[in-house]
Amino acid sequence: MAGLGEFRRLFATKMIERLDRAPGVKVVPVSDTQFRAAVERYAARPDQE
């Protein structure tokens, strides 16, 4: 099942890229601190599916 997590992460990043380009979607900014904390937490849990 390890490959499934990798697939989901790729899917999530592609979805974010699409949303960022979508004309009807407004991306609300977060602070650098909030973003970095979220990325660190996400990266620290590769075992979570």
**Interval 6-28: pLDDT, tens:** 888 999 999 999 999 999 999 88
pLDDT of the residue at 45 = 84
What's the rounded Cα separation, in Å, for the pair 20 and 40?
21
**Contacts with 1 (C-beta within 8 Å, 6 or more apart), sequence order:** 49
pLDDT of the residue at 48 = 67
pTM of the model: 0.51
**Interval 33-42: pLDDT, tens:** 999 999 999 8
pLDDT at 46 over 90: no
pLDDT at 1 over 60: no
